[in-house]
Amino acid sequence: MLRTRLIFTTLIFLVFSLPMTSLAADHPLAGIPLRNIGPALTSGRVSDFAFVPGKPQSFYVSMASGGLWKTENNGTTWKPLFDNYSSITLGDIAVSQSNENFNQILLNTLEWQP
């Protein structure tokens, strides 16, 4: 038991005494600064996602604090859709699959808490 502890302590010491090289600096995206984008920064907690059939880069996000957002470029930019309506919370969201050229959105304005 004592020998196992001694070996473990020695290994831990060796690991932490090695020079720390940053793998993040070697990453190809390391030069791009981080920035906040999308609905999570503006509205808070996400309630639900709904994806547009046949267009995986296009989807909707409903926010618990009352925002509905749409992206058509896989989340690079977001457009608010529910700013002119008064609702305290938004819950489930669904996109109708009946017409590819027109997205009918079904939105529940009550958030269900289990």
Supply the pLDDT for residue 18.
59
Q: How far is CA 87 from CA 2, 6, 59, 63, 68, in A?
A: 64, 62, 21, 11, 11
pLDDT tens string 40-93: 555 567 888 888 888 888 888 888 777 888 999 988 888 988 888 776 678 888
How does residue 31 score in pLDDT terms, banded at 50, 70 and 90? confident
Residue 68's DSSP bridge partners are: 62
At 104 the pLDDT is 80
Q: Tell me: the pLDDT tens digits for 1-11?
A: 667 777 777 76
Alpha-helical regions (H) of 1-114: 2-17, 39-43
Q: How do the domains of the chain map onto residue ranges?
A: 39-114
Contact status, residue 68 vs residue 62, Cβ threshold 8 Å: yes
Higher pLDDT, 113 or 46: 46
- The pLDDT value recorded for residue 38 is 57
Write down the pTM of the prediction: 0.56
Three-state DSSP class for 8? helix
Q: Are 51 and 61 in contact (CB under 8 A)?
A: no
For residue 92, which of 54, 58, 64 has the smallest C-alpha distance? 64
